[in-house]
């Protein structure tokens, strides 16, 4: 064998065998914009000389090519390139294939023949099977807005049908807290005419504890489930409001109300000049509004208050 055909990685000194990574890899991704798939083939040259690479992709029954940078030959796509030492090339083609939504399938794996133009040495390798799932005929778009505790958050999502046939199904919405615990889930049915868009409008609760939640959406159509989106829903604490109180009393001090987010703690501070502040007390909201007392208020001719939220640990 031509010594230049030795792979760049070192041989195993105990067995005199060597191993190299498969020089050909195939990936398939789905595109909801044209209801098609995009296949990409990567070929690398692991040897110490430039090599010619002939890649052959067999085409399965039912496939319709949308685009390719190769040549059609006897039911296959063929690409021919010269790959420099340590180099690689990328081949691609777009296609449609009848596959039920969400159903796993695959293409016949492509092969590459690497040839040394200066000798008769050659190497044939086959890629691992590239699996992919059938495309759902619709896609979901939209944004989950920021929420505020105590207020429902209206959400508008759109369902777009990319086919010429009317589609029906449902969108399953699931919420989980920061620890991954399921909080709630619900289903929104939809029906959308050919090549049109319909809106799904719903409310997310504002009575959940303030914090960050994971929101996922799954499409349910024809007995199959498919991923639609994954995002976050943030519920901000309610604004802190201090209410008017009764005149200060030497026994009970000054009593006033505070409105905020239940479960949150607040540091109540007092001041006589709005510049220098001192702690009055910590208050954890068990309900809103909640009464608070400043027992030292009778010692001052005037007194101002503010509350600083302290999120739960």
pLDDT digits (tens, 9 = 90+) for 161-220: 988 889 999 999 999 999 999 999 999 999 999 999 999 999 998 888 888 999 999 999
pLDDT of residue 271: 92
pLDDT of residue 247: 61
Residue 313 has pLDDT above 80, yes or no: no
SS (HEC) of the chain: CCHHHCECCCCCCCCCCCCCCCCEEEEEEEECCCCEEEEEEEEECCECCCEEEEEEEECCCCCEEEEECCEEECCEEEEEEEECCCCEEEEEEEEECCCCCCCEEECCCCEEEEECCCCCCEEEEECCCCEEECCCCEEEEECCCCEECCCCEEEEEEEEECCCCCEEEEEEEEEECCCCCEEEEEEEEEEECCCCEEEEEEEECCCCCCEEEEEEEEEEECCEEEEEEEEEEEEECCCCEECCCCCCECCCEEEEEEECCCCCEEEEEEECCCCCCEEEEEEECCCCCEEEEECCHHHCCCCEEEEEEECCC
Write out pLDDT tens, residues 72-125.
999 999 999 999 988 889 999 999 988 888 888 999 999 999 998 777 788 899
pLDDT of residue 1: 41
Write out pLDDT tens, residues 215-271.
999 999 988 888 889 999 998 877 778 876 666 555 667 888 888 777 778 888 999
Higher pLDDT, 85 or 12: 85
Residue 39 has pLDDT above 90, yes or no: yes
Is the full-model pTM beyond 0.95? no
pLDDT of residue 167: 92
pLDDT of residue 245: 66
């Amino acid at each position: 064998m031509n010594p230049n055909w030795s792979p760049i990685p070192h041989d195993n000194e105990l067995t005199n065998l060597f191993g190299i990574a498969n020089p050909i890899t195939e990936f398939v991704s789905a595109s909801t914009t044209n209801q098609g798939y995009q296949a990409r083939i990567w070929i690398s040259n692991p040897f110490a000389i430039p090599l010619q690479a002939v890649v052959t992709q067999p085409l399965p029954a039912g496939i319709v090519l949308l685009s390719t940078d190769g040549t059609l030959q006897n039911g296959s796509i063929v690409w021919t390139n010269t790959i420099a030492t340590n180099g690689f090339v990328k081949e691609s083609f777009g296609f449609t294939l009848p596959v039920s939504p969400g159903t796993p399938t695959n293409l016949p794996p492509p092969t590459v023949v690497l040839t040394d133009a200066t000798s008769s040495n050659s190497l044939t390798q086959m890629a691992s099977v590239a699996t992919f799932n059938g495309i759902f005929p619709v896609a979901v778009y939209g944004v989950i807005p920021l929420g505020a505790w105590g207020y429902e958050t209206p959400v508008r999502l759109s369902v777009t049908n990319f086919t010429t046939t009317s589609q029906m199904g449902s969108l399953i919405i699931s919420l989980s807290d920061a620890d991954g615990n399921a909080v709630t889930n619900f289903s929104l049915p939809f029906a959308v005419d050919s090549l049109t868009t319909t809106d799904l409008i719903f409310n997310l609760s504002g009575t959940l504890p303030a914090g960050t939640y994971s929101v996922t959406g799954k499409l349910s159509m024809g007995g199959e489930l498919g991923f639609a989106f994954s995002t976050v829903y943030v519920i901000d604490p309610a604004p802190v409001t201090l209410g008017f109180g009764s005149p200060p009393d030497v026994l009970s001090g000054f009593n006033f109300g505070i409105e905020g987010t239940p479960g949150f703690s607040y540091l109540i501070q007092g001041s006589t000049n709005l510049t220098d502040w001192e702690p009055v007390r910590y208050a954890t909201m068990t309900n809103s509004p909640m009464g608070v007392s400043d027992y030292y208020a009778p010692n001052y001719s005037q007194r101002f208050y503010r509350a600083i939220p302290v999120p739960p640990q």
